């Protein structure tokens, strides 16, 4: 049972010895001490004891897993939900993607036309969006713009560009067309164990009514499953009494307007925000950079050169992902150099990027990646 990366300083822990060799030796030594007999591998008693040993090994594993599941660093699934319940923290459920939709009549009517709640539209692929409330196209009007949400929770409803959702599923007594006016977004799967674990860890900060940084961070992260980092900036970086909150989404993406509004609604609530604070939820600033790296491989490793090239490519991609996975993380070519060398390169020359310190309100954003293999070199 693996320990979460959220607790790197904690030593791994075990509640029961699960090593099969140790358990086998222990059982056989006890039998020999009690009977004075030494068992051969084919002895019927030894075969019987082997069955007992297997049951003990399985039991030890169950004991270890059960004990670790009581610890935040190891718990997962429903065990983690129960740990969260101690602090009143619940896992964020999956959310539905949404978009703005325009219904257009083929001809203007002299009477109002209802668009009932639940009216479905689709881009195909068994994905459906539905209107949440009943709307009316007024007499003399030809169209209306409304909001629609995906009927399936999760990321399946994200990414449909404007005009792609254009099939009216439900039958109307008059001809009408439909299309989405913006790209669908906001759909998220149920909160992952790691994200939920991190919120549980900082949950005690929310008990304070003095407006500490971690409290704002906790409440902001509770607004959406895909928020992976939050920076809270207050005085002296801001004007007295003003607090700026910057949420960052999965993959280093900037939050949508809907996410900004959700974070602001939570963090500005009267029972959360201190009376003296003015809360501003803002989108982080992207700091662009390009990657230009040339690397060489030791000629002694020529047999494995193809694999090393693949490892170096993966190392660069992982570094780019790491750079954009947190706010205020400096653009650090030294870390890139380390990863390239660890991947098997003999040396590398990094033309770009140069080191750049970022503010807590900024996130690194990679543009072009130019990765060049310089060839083989003698050590």
Looking at the structure, tell me whether residues 319 and 278 fall in a common domain: no
End-to-end CA distance of the chain: 41
Looking at the structure, tell me whether residues 297 and 254 fall in a common domain: no
**Residue 208 falls inside a structural domain:** yes
Looking at the structure, tell me whether residues 116 and 162 fall in a common domain: yes
Q: What is the DSSP string of 185-232?
A: B--BPSPPHHHHHHHHHHGGGGG-SS--HHHHHHHHHTT-TTEEEEEE
- Write b or e for each residue in 219-252: b if 16 or more Cβ atoms lie within 10 A of its Cβ, otherwise e: bbbbbbbbbbbbbbbbeeeeeeeebbbbbbbbeb
Question: Last residue of some domain: 221, 250, 283?
Answer: 283
Residue range 8-30, pLDDT digits in tens: 899 999 999 999 999 999 999 99
Q: How confident is the model at residue 379 (pLDDT cuts 50, 70, 90)?
A: confident
Looking at the structure, tell me whether residues 212 and 275 fall in a common domain: yes
Q: Which phi and psi (to 5°) does residue 297 adopt?
A: -120, 140
Give the three-class secondary structure for 258: helix
Q: Among 56, 46, 48, which residue's Cα sits nearest to residue 19?
A: 56
Give the pLDDT confidence score for residue 186 in this predicted structure: 87
**Residue 93 falls inside a structural domain:** no
**Residue 317 falls inside a structural domain:** yes
Domain residues for the domain of 25 are 20-74
**Among 46-55, 154-163, 267-276, 348-357, which is the least confidently predicted range?**
267-276
Give the pLDDT confidence score for residue 371 in this predicted structure: 97
* Structure tokens that stand for 209 in this block: 């009514």
By the 8 A CB rule, do 75 and 3 touch? Answer: no
Kindly tell me if the per-residue pLDDT of 304 is higher than 90.
Answer: yes
Kindly tell me if the per-residue pLDDT of 322 is higher than 90.
Answer: yes
Domains of the chain: total: 4
Residue range 118-127, pLDDT digits in tens: 999 999 989 9
Q: How confident is the model at residue 172 (pLDDT cuts 50, 70, 90)?
A: confident
Q: Please give the torsion angle defined by the CA atoms of residues 333, 334, 338 and 341, in that order, rounded to the nearest 10 degrees.
A: 70
**Residue 12 falls inside a structural domain:** no
Residue range 96-150, pLDDT digits in tens: 999 999 999 999 999 999 999 999 999 998 999 999 999 999 999 999 999 999 9
Write the CA distances from 97 to 126, 128, 154, integer angstroms: 15, 10, 7
Residue range 241-276, pLDDT digits in tens: 899 999 999 999 999 998 999 999 999 998 888 888
**Residue 13 falls inside a structural domain:** no
**Residue 25 falls inside a structural domain:** yes
**Residue 87 falls inside a structural domain:** no
Cα angle value 90/93/95 (rounded, 5°): 145
**Among 132-136, 208-212, 295-299, 326-330, which is the least confidently predicted range?**
208-212
Q: How confident is the model at residue 209 (pLDDT cuts 50, 70, 90)?
A: low
CA distance 132 to 148: 6
What average pLDDT does the structure give for the chain? 93
Q: What is the DSSP string of 127-185?
A: EEEEESS-EEE-TT--EEEEEEEESS-SGGGTTPPTT---EE-S--SS-EEEEESS--B
Give the three-class secondary structure for 105: strand
Looking at the structure, tell me whether residues 298 and 373 fall in a common domain: yes
CATH number at residue 247: 3.30.300
By the 8 A CB rule, do 158 and 184 touch? Answer: yes
Looking at the structure, tell me whether residues 61 and 103 fall in a common domain: no
Give the pLDDT confidence score for residue 190 in this predicted structure: 93
**Residue 125 falls inside a structural domain:** yes
Looking at the structure, tell me whether residues 269 and 292 fall in a common domain: no
* Integer Rg of the chain from CA: 29
Going through 68-134 in order, the beta strands assigned E by DSSP cover 98-105, 113-115, 120-124, 127-131
Give the three-class secondary structure for 302: helix
Looking at the structure, tell me whether residues 244 and 165 fall in a common domain: no
Looking at the structure, tell me whether residues 26 and 66 fall in a common domain: yes
Question: Last residue of some domain: 283, 305, 330?
Answer: 283
Residue range 363-372, pLDDT digits in tens: 999 999 999 9
Looking at the structure, tell me whether residues 311 and 366 fall in a common domain: yes
CA distance 82 to 75: 9
Looking at the structure, tell me whether residues 268 and 313 fall in a common domain: no
Give the three-class secondary structure for 352: strand
Q: Which residue has the tokens 């190891």?
A: 74
């Amino acid at each position: 049972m693996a320990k979460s990366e959220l607790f790197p300083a904690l030593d791994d822990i075990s509640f029961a010895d699960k090593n099969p060799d140790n358990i086998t030796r222990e059982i056989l030594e006890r039998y020999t001490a009690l009977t004075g007999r030494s068992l051969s591998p084919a002895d019927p008693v030894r075969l019987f004891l082997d069955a007992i040993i297997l049951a003990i090994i399985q039991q030890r594993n169950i004991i270890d897993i059960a004990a670790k599941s009581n610890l935040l660093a190891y718990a997962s699934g429903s065990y983690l939900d129960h740990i969260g319940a101690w602090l009143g923290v619940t896992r964020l459920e999956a959310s539905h993607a949404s978009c703005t939709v325009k219904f257009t009549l083929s001809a203007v009517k002299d009477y109002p036309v209802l668009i009932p709640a639940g009216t479905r539209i689709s881009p195909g692929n068994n994905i459906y969006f539905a209107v949440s409330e009943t709307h009316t196209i007024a007499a003399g009007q030809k169209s209306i713009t409304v909001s629609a949400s995906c009927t399936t929770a999760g990321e399946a409803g994200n990414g449909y560009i404007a005009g792609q959702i254009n099939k009216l599923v439900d039958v109307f007594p008059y001809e009408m067309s439909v299309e989405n006016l913006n790209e669908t977004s906001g759909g998220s799967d149920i909160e992952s164990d790691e994200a939920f674990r991190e919120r549980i860890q900082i949950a005690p900060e929310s008990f304070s009514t003095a407006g500490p940084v971690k409290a704002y961070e906790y409440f902001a992260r509770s607004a959406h499953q895909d928020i992976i980092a939050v920076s809270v900036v207050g005085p002296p970086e801001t004007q007295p009494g003003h607090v700026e909150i910057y949420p960052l989404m999965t993959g280093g993406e900037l939050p949508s307007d809907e996410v900004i509004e959700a974070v602001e609604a939570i963090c500005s609530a009267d029972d959360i925000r201190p009376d003296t604070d003015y809360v501003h939820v803002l989108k982080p600033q992207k700091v662009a950079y390009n990657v230009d790296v040339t690397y060489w491989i030791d000629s002694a490793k020529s047999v494995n050169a193809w694999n090393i090239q693949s490892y170096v490519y993966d190392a660069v991609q992982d570094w780019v992902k790491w750079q954009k996975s947190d706010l205020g993380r400096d653009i650090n070519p030294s870390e890139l150099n380390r990863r390239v060398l660890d991947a098997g390169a003999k040396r590398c020359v990094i033309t770009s990027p140069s080191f750049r310190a970022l503010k807590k309100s900024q996130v690194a954003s990679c543009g072009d990646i130019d990765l060049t293999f310089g060839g083989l070199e003698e050590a």
